[in-house]
Copies of this chain bind each other. A is one copy, B any other.
Amino acid sequence: MSFDPATLKFNDAGLIPVIAQEAGSGEVLMLAWMNAEAVARTLESRRVTYWSRSRAAFWVKGETSGHGQELVEMRLDCDRDCLLVQVRQTGPACHTNRRSCFYTAVRDGAEVELMQAEEF
């Protein structure tokens, strides 16, 4: 069956949540959002392209930071309302210069920081 981004289920803002996962290690890096055009651009260019809700603009991950994501595979879920992109991440995924945005754990009722910012 051929894939058409318009067949995905977008929220009222026309967006779908996208989980980015490092293809090699399986580490979950971040969650961001795409509209249908960002999905199409990502598949076409193989450079993961989100929709920035704060800037209301396309966001080619790494275009300014150099910390881009090369698409290895895109998957969709059973409800067609969430995407998983398996990527090769260059540098840290997080704007805090940590490898993953999920660097804080909740342990015994307290927040514990798991990762240090990388140096550049």
Contacts and interface: CB of A to CB of B under 8 A. Distances in A.
A92 to B, nearest CB: 11
Contacts of A109: 2-3, 43
A96 B19 CA distance: 21
A98 to B, nearest CB: 8
Given A1-B111, A111-B1, A95 B74 contact: no
Contacts of A103: 75, 78
A27 interface: yes
A62 interface: no
A60 interface: no
A55 interface: no
A29 to B, nearest CB: 10
Contacts of A101: 77-79, 82
25 contacts: A1-B110, A2-B109, A2-B110, A2-B111, A3-B110, A3-B111, A17-B17, A19-B19, A19-B28, A19-B31, A21-B26, A25-B26, A30-B77, A31-B82, A43-B106, A73-B107, A75-B103, A76-B102, A76-B104, A76-B106, A77-B101, A78-B95, A78-B103, A79-B101, A84-B102
